[in-house]
Structures are given as structure tokens and as C-alpha cells.
Structure 1
Amino acid sequence: MTEAGKPYEIEETVMVVHTEHGLVQGLDRHGYQEFLGIPYAAAPYPEHAFDPPRPLNAWDGVFEATAPGATAAHAQVTQDLFPDPVVEGVNPLNLNVYAPADTGGPYPVLVWLHGGGFFSGGNASPWYTGESFARDGVVLVVPNYRLAAEGFMLLDDSVANRALLDITMALRWVRDNIEAFGGDPANVTVAGQSAGATATLALSGCPGARGLFRRLAAMSAGMPLLSSLTRTHELSEDFAALLGTPRTRAALLGAPVRKRLELEATWLPHEVRTPPADADARARRLRQDSLRWQPTLDGTVISASPYDALAEGTLDALMIGTTAEEWNFMLGPGKPAASAEACRQGFANLGLTGQDLAEYLRVLETDNPGHALAQALTDRNFRTPAREVADGAAKAGIPTYAYQFAWPAPGLGAAHCADLPFVFDHLDAPGAANLLGPGAPAQLATALHGALVRFVCDGSPGWSTYDTETRPVMVFDERTREIPDAFTLPPDQLRRTR
């Protein structure tokens, strides 16, 4: 056996490393090392689902990290965006590590926070495997965290934001153990997409997470970035009342898990629950605050909003962006189109008018009101907030890099999640072709993945830093180029300069 902290090869494809909790066995995948389902906190199920994460005890023998670990309990969601396998087990507080086969290091570390609206998702998805990062000299860590009520419900006898505490515990595990996998604990970037991006930005205001990362990369974070304490309190009261229990840990644990998850399913956003063909129902129910469970500005676990936290200027660097047509996956240019009447209701739900609908139809050069409504929500919930966060970070002196993903998948456009196979350089990942169609440009995957790798390595993805005068934004399409203030431009205008 080699010295502590150094992996050694037992068989041709088996690797063992020393961690502070014991030996962990993974696989050498002929070019990178893979360790799956490593626990970073004690098992929350069945008795501690609503407790803060608890320290992990050391184990005897060797922990076999060769198969995905458990996923957090959540309602079943039918969606076609990305694979979301559910793995049964008592400890979803686990993480995957993908490391270069050459253990020389130390290599920069990327901690990736999965998306899923805080009601689904997990690190067992084949879209989040890290061979491309390991190939390029980055150690990738993908933790699970608790979801929905387990992660965010306010209780009378437990702390708020348990999911953020889970993520913070995972970051502490990285600090204390990642050197054994060839990673550099002093060079950690946290990144995420969708809900994962929202959690990434929320970490900036978490006192317990300070010093555990240097940079943040937020991809497609949606508004609101944080829920108010009042709103989460009201939601928590409603949830407990519908479940028929007091808001205590014991009472919630006493309710059948099946009953709780059935209630969670009724609380999914309408756009997820509405059948795909029912475009009018989707349009009428569209709202800015469709997510119920999400990070809450509670004053303790999260003590400041991302806007206020970034204004302190303590972050080494920030990378932030969106896809140009996030909400196309729900309405967009597809058929059947939502009616004008239903879309006017959707515009009203966003605080907009029929005149705004007409203007979007004109600017987008379309007669499809669903496409206009999808772009209005994309602008209000994703692109404008990203611009505002970039403005604030740049004013605080944080080197900030903004981008737009504009490549249009056939029949879908630059929709939510369409960038993920490019970020991971996984155009052949299971299900990717269903979303992207045939012939997705490999050079775009090289460009977008390479930009994130460069950002993780040295804090600069390879284009101009953002400022509040010219607002340079890198646009990723079949070719990449900087465009001033690209967050305010219609998607087709971003693509006309190909």
C-alpha cells in the first residue's frame, strides 16, 4: 500500500484512495478515474430527512464507489430534456468524483450542482459524467443534495435551507479529501445549471460556505434567485396543512413518504404537469414564481442575496449566462401553437400587456404568440437577471464574464438545457440527440466546454471581462464572437452575424 492520500492500482481497472473516512474504491476508465456515490454526510433516511446534514463516521474496509449512489427522494417528473434516473437508497448525500488518470496534480476542481427545479435531478444522470473534464486536467465533483420540502421547507424545530447546508457539507468534503484524488483544495470553482445555477449564486451569501470556493459559474439561473422568508413560511404552512401534520420533524417523518411525494407531485410547476399538447393551459398558467421550493433568504444559512453578496467583491471571478431562448422547451416555435388569447393571459401574469405581446411578435418576426410568450419569460426570468448580476459583480470589481448560448436545436431553438451536452462535451450522451437533433456542431462543444475549463483553471474563459459601459458578451453559436449587450438582443439577431 502506498502512502496516505495516494491512489494505487490493485487490478487493471480498480483504484483505491485514502479519504478521511476510509478507503474508497473506484475504477480506472482508461484515461480517467471514476468514483461514484461516495458519502459526504451521514444517511438522512429514514429518521433524519428533515435534519441538517450530520457528520459522517469513518468506515471499516473499503467503500465500493463503482455504481451510482442513491438520489434524493422526489416526485416522479415526466420530461424530455435530460435523463433523470432514480436510485433507491438511504443516503442520497453522496458525490461522484472524476479525476485525471495521471495523479500528478494538483488539478483545479469543479464542483457541479445539478439542475431540476429543486424538485428533481441527481448525479446519476449520464449527462453529468466527467470524463471530458478529467481529460482536460480538471477534477469534477458532482454532489447530490436534498430536494423540495426535505431541502427547503421551514419547520418549527429545524434549520432552513437544508439543501444549501448539504452543498456546503459537500464543499467541506472537497476541502478535506480532494487532494487524495489529485485535486487542489485551494482552487475550487462551483458551477451549476438551472436550479444548480441558482444554488451556485445563493452560495455567495452563505457564511458557512465562505472560503470553500474561489469562483462561481452560473448557467441559466432563473428568477427569483431567492424566495423571501415570508413566502417560504406561507408555503410551508400550506404544505403541512395539506399533509395534515404540524411543521415538525417528527410529524413529517410520521407521514407516509408515499403520501408526501404525492403531494409534492401536485406542487410541481404547472408547465411541468400540463400535457405537452395543452399549449393554451401552459400559456395561461405561466408565472414568474412557478417554483415553490427554492433557497430562502432566511438570515442565517443565507444571510445576503446574491446581489448584495457579490457587491462585497470577495469572489475571484464570475462567469454567468443563459441560453437565448430558455423557455422554448415549454412553448416556443413548436406546434401546436398556443392561442393569442391564452398568451395574452400569460403576458398579464408577467405584468405585461397586449401591446407587449404585439411588440414581441414584431421584434421576433413571428406570428406565433406562444413563441413571443416564451421569449418574454426568457428575457424577464433569465436574460435580464443575468445582465443585472453581471452589472453588479463588475461594479464590485469582480472579473466577470458573460455569455449567451444561441445555437438553435432543430424545432426548438436555443432552449433550456440545450447547452448541457456542449458544456460537458457529451454530444453522444444518452438522449442528447433527441434534444439536439442530428449533426450538432462538435466545434461548439469544444468551444463551450473549453471556456469552462479555462475559467476553472485560471479564472478567465477566454474573452473580454464584462463592464457596465460596453457589456461584452460571448455568443456561442456555430462560431463564437463577442457582441455588445447581447442579453438585450433578439435571438435571431445574435445569429445573423454567423
Structure 2
Amino acid sequence: MTSMTSDPQITLRAGTVQGTTTDGIHRFLGIPYAAPPFGENRFRAPQPVAAWDGVRSATAFGPTAPQLPYPGAIGELLGSVHIPGDDILTANVWAPANAAGAPVVLWIHGGALERGTAALSLYDGAVFARAGIVFVSINYRLGAEGFSVLDDAPRNLGVRDVAAALEWVHAEIAAFGGDPAQTTAMGESAGGALVAALLAREDSRALIARAIIESGPLEAQTPAKAGRVTTQMAKRLGVRADRASFAAIPPEDLLEARRQQSAGSSPLGGAPGFQVAIDPESLPQSPHDVLATIDTPLLIGTNTDEYRLWFPPEALAGINETKLFLASLALRIPRRAVKAYRDEWPGASTGEVFGQLATDMILRRGLTRVAQAKPSSTFVYEFAWPSPVRDLRAAHALELGFVFDRLDDEEAHRLAGPDAPRRLAVEMNAAWVAFITTGDPGWPAYGASRTTRLFDTATTTVPQRRTTGLDLLPR
């Protein structure tokens, strides 16, 4: 490390940054890994950072990507942070003060590709740094700025951003005491989807030693399907779906158009969401096809009741037999699969059966196919601890407070309440640290017996649960 003072300084390719030290952990916030993606850089691939003179303060998080806060009831469960400014493509680093050749993790936040930030207090990297890991978190372009499908603009700008951040880590992390050859890419939800996208790119995959995907969709869409949200927004705005037209619209006006577009929508219908697109230049193949063919060690899993964050109770109550039947027809789910889900969830309502089917179609189906294709290098988990908050049970995103061992954080309280079991947080964080450090989280790989680590009030290692219906889902 360049400096071990109480106000540590690190010299990078673009200039020198100064951070802070607390309890033996160096922290550097808001370091640009690419130029601000506005002005002439808007709707263009990430551009190099302009060098700076003197010492740049790295004591505060950089600006957040343009976004709207979560609406309605989900906004009471998932927090938002707004930091104004254009320099949104930044990285944050937590490193042990004596780090030398330490393993590295690159954290990519979730938020449906249109919300979220590394500045959330839940994502503080100190717990990983105390375990001897150099922890890096990043922001990337979101929503229309990062995932529009425009006729004459590069696609998957958000994917390109995280790829650029990974390259920055590979080039710069040794200055913080990290070993770039021991980099683990880690993300949750949309962040997990972006980790999968990095693994699907040959150039990015070469920079990743291991990967962790928490509740992340693995399938990229055709440009036509991924572009439906852009096409609808362009129509609403009365413009063409091209770079010049969208670049002429201020980011806040695009956000307002998106708000109007999604007003009244629900997880069961309405406006399409932003998605990663298959693209010859930025993502030639869908990750779900590529991950099954590579040997990168993978820790991957889902939560038992993911859908209970997405579908409020009133939406579940409104799903009757006819809606379930029509949904199964549209998704080509065989009748015997629906029956198997009913048998595997005795006493569940029709809406809850639908929710479990949706969870597995979006998440568990893909991870299972990957694990079956590379059983010796894939470690599978299921997070099953039931939250007492709003009957969320083991809902989407609930595991984050446990993985980061930050159950006392306000963001964790929103989903888990104030009395979540600390033992489980210590256990999960230790497993993640072990995988990042050694490639072994502490239980056997998936293998022929479909081994799965079940994190619950009492954690056990079991064969993958509820596979009868899962194995009948269309491929």
C-alpha cells in the first residue's frame, strides 16, 4: 500500500486519492472508474477517467445514478439514497490497513436495473475487510440511461459499466493491497444478473476467479423483448427510439416518463421492465447458456419465498384458478408441474402456488440447470429463515442483512425486523468469506446428490428441495 497513515493516500493511474481509516480499515469512497456518462458521453460506452492534479478526497460516496425511489408498500421495505451530481460511475474500497495480496470482492447492487446504489448503509464493506478481504462496491447506469435499446447507441450500457469497473479493479486493486487474480464478482437480484453477464463475456470472465449470484436471473432477452420498455417510452414522449432523441431529453424527464409508464402496473401485469439484451458486441450469448459451459467456481442460490416481496398479499389473493391456468399456458408449464407444486406446497393458496412457480421460472430453474451442468464447481444454497415482517417469510433480498452481517442496520430492520438471529448472520457471512477466500463455502458442491446448504433457524446441508415440479418446468 502506498501509505499507512491515518489518512491513507493511494496513487492510481488517474491521480492520488485520500481516504480515511477506522479500526484498522482503510476506506476510500467515490473513486471514478469511468468518466461521467452525461453531456457528450450520454448513451455512449463508458469513457476513460480524466486525470486530476493534487490529492482527490475519497471520503464520501459519489453521486447516485438517476432513479426514482421505490413506490408504495415496497418503498417502505427497500430504502433509497439520493446523492446529486454527474460523476456516477464510481467505486468504493474497504481494505485492511495491512493488506498485501488479499482476496478481492466486487459487489454489484440490485434494484431491477433501475434502482439502487452502493451508498446504502447495508452494503458497508467493513465486515469483509475485517476478514482480510479488499471489498469494492460500484455504481452503474440504471433504467433508461443504462438499459435502453436505441437504434444507434451501444446496448447494455449498464453491463459495459460493470465490465469497466471490473477492469478498473484488475488494474488498480493491488495499490489497495488486493490480488487481482483472486477477484470474486458478487451481486444480488439485478446485480446477480450482471455478475452472470460478466461471466458470459470472455474478456470479463478472464478477470474473475470466483462468482456469487444471489437471487439473480440468468437469462438475457432478445433486443426486441428487452427493447419493449424503450419503445413504449419513446411513444409516450413522442420521439424516436434513437440516441439523438433520448440524449436531448433531460434524465429527470426520462424518469418522469418511466413513472407515468409504470403507474398502475403490478408484478402481474403492466409496463415492461428493463432487461439485459443479447448483443453481438456487449453480450453475444445469454448467460444461462454460457454459465453451464465454464469452470468458474460459483456460489448461487435463492430465497424460499422470493415472490412475497414482489407480490403484495392483495395481489396473491386475487389470483384464482383461471389466472393460474392462463399463466401456465402462456409460460408452457405442464399441468403435471402445477400439480407437483400443489403437492410440494400443501395448504398453499392458488396465489402462493403461482408465486412459487414464478420464483422458480425466474430464478431457481436457471440456477438448477447451471448446477446440473457443472455440479463439481457449483455450490448451491437456499435461504429459508422466515421474517416476521408483513408475512414476508423468506422473501427476495431478505438474506442481504445476513450476508453483510448487518442486522442492526436500519435497512436490515425493514425486512427482517429487530430480532433476527445474529448467529445466522455470522454463519452466512463466514460462508461467503470462506468462498471468496478459498473457493469453499463450507459444504460440498452440488454434485450428483444435488447438495444444498439450507440457511434457517437451524442450518443444515440437504439434497435440493422441491425438485419434482422444478424438473418439469420448460427448459
User: Could you state the TM-score of these two structures normalised by the residue count of structure 2?
Assistant: 0.90
Correspondence 1:381 to 2:348: no
TM-aligned CA distance change 1:335 to 1:247, over 3 Å: closer
Correspondence 1:348 to 2:326: yes
Partner of 2:383: 405
1:382-424 CA-to-partner distances (Å, cap 9, x unmatched) read: 2222211211233xxx611011001111122111011000010
Partner of 2:197: 202
Distance (whole Å) between structure 1 residues aligned to residue 458 and residue 348 of structure 2: 29
Secondary structure of 1:67's aligned partner: coil
Partner of 1:76: 69
TM-aligned CA distance change 1:379 to 1:19, over 3 Å: same
Q: 2:463 aligns with which of 445, 466, 484?
A: 484
Partner of 1:279: none
Letter matched to residue 79 of structure 2: P
Partner of 2:413: 433
TM-aligned CA distance change 1:23 to 1:156, over 3 Å: same
Partner of 1:493: none
Distance (whole Å) between structure 2 residues aligned to residue 249 and residue 116 of structure 1: 24
Distance (whole Å) between structure 1 residues aligned to residue 202 and residue 286 of structure 2: 12
Q: CA deviation at 1:359?
A: 6.2
1:134-213 equivalences under 5 Å are: 134-213=129-208
TM-aligned CA distance change 1:435 to 1:238, over 3 Å: closer
Distance (whole Å) between structure 1 residues aligned to residue 228 and residue 69 of structure 2: 24
Which moved further from structure 2: 290-299 or 153-162? 290-299
Secondary structure of 2:41's aligned partner: coil
Distance (whole Å) between structure 2 residues aligned to residue 377 and residue 63 of structure 1: 47
Correspondence 1:325 to 2:302: no
Letter matched to residue 401 of structure 1: F
Secondary structure of 1:401's aligned partner: strand
Q: 2:55 aligns with which of 44, 59, 62?
A: 62
Partner of 1:246: 240
The alignment's C-alpha RMSD in Å is 2.5
Q: CA deviation at 1:350?
A: 4.4
TM-aligned CA distance change 1:360 to 1:252, over 3 Å: same
Partner of 2:124: 129
TM-aligned CA distance change 1:488 to 1:357, over 3 Å: closer
**Is the Cα contact below 8 Å between 2:306 and 2:359 reproduced in 1?**
yes
1:249-264 equivalences under 5 Å are: 249-264=243-258
Which moved further from structure 2: 196-205 or 323-332? 323-332
Secondary structure of 2:8's aligned partner: strand
Partner of 1:446: 426
Percent of aligned pairs sharing the same letter: 34
Secondary structure of 1:8's aligned partner: coil
Which moved further from structure 2: 158-167 or 477-486? 477-486
Q: CA deviation at 1:309?
A: 2.0
Q: CA deviation at 1:172?
A: 1.1
Q: CA deviation at 1:255?
A: 1.8
Q: 1:226 aligns with which of 215, 220, 224?
A: 220
Partner of 1:306: 287
Letter matched to residue 102 of structure 1: N
In structure 1, list runs of 5 or more residues that go unmatched. Answer: 275-281, 491-498
Secondary structure of 1:199's aligned partner: helix
Q: CA deviation at 1:453?
A: 0.7
Distance (whole Å) between structure 1 residues aligned to residue 81 and residue 60 of structure 2: 13
Q: CA deviation at 1:244?
A: 2.0
**Is the Cα contact below 8 Å between 2:28 and 2:94 reproduced in 1?**
yes
Secondary structure of 2:398's aligned partner: coil
Letter matched to residue 86 of structure 2: V
TM-aligned CA distance change 1:235 to 1:340, over 3 Å: closer
1:152-198 CA-to-partner distances (Å, cap 9, x unmatched) read: 22223221111111011101111111111111111101010000011
Distance (whole Å) between structure 2 residues aligned to residue 27 and residue 237 of structure 1: 45
Which moved further from structure 2: 189-198 or 157-166? 157-166
Distance (whole Å) between structure 2 residues aligned to residue 132 and residue 322 of structure 1: 22
Correspondence 1:16 to 2:12: no
In structure 2, list runs of 5 or more residues that go unmatched. Answer: 470-475
Partner of 1:285: 269
Q: CA deviation at 1:464?
A: 0.6
Partner of 2:473: none
**Is the Cα contact below 8 Å between 1:34 and 1:98 reproduced in 2?**
yes
1:417-455 CA-to-partner distances (Å, cap 9, x unmatched) read: 110000101111123223112321111111111111111
**Is the Cα contact below 8 Å between 1:245 and 1:255 reproduced in 2?**
no
Correspondence 1:102 to 2:81: no
Partner of 1:495: none
**Is the Cα contact below 8 Å between 1:7 and 1:180 reproduced in 2?**
no
TM-aligned CA distance change 1:269 to 1:115, over 3 Å: farther
Distance (whole Å) between structure 2 residues aligned to residue 50 and residue 74 of structure 1: 16
**Is the Cα contact below 8 Å between 2:14 and 2:52 reproduced in 1?**
yes
Letter matched to residue 75 of structure 1: L
Letter matched to residue 424 of structure 2: L
TM-aligned CA distance change 1:346 to 1:261, over 3 Å: farther
Distance (whole Å) between structure 2 residues aligned to residue 100 and residue 294 of structure 1: 36
**Is the Cα contact below 8 Å between 1:425 and 1:446 reproduced in 2?**
yes
**Is the Cα contact below 8 Å between 1:331 and 1:338 reproduced in 2?**
no
1:343-383 CA-to-partner distances (Å, cap 9, x unmatched) read: 64255234359997776455423353333322221222222
Distance (whole Å) between structure 2 residues aligned to residue 439 and residue 361 of structure 1: 32
Partner of 1:419: 399
Distance (whole Å) between structure 2 residues aligned to residue 389 and residue 380 of structure 1: 14
1:67-108 CA-to-partner distances (Å, cap 9, x unmatched) read: 1111111233222333220211111100111111223x2110
Distance (whole Å) between structure 2 residues aligned to residue 385 and residue 267 of structure 1: 29
Secondary structure of 2:170's aligned partner: helix
TM-aligned CA distance change 1:337 to 1:255, over 3 Å: closer
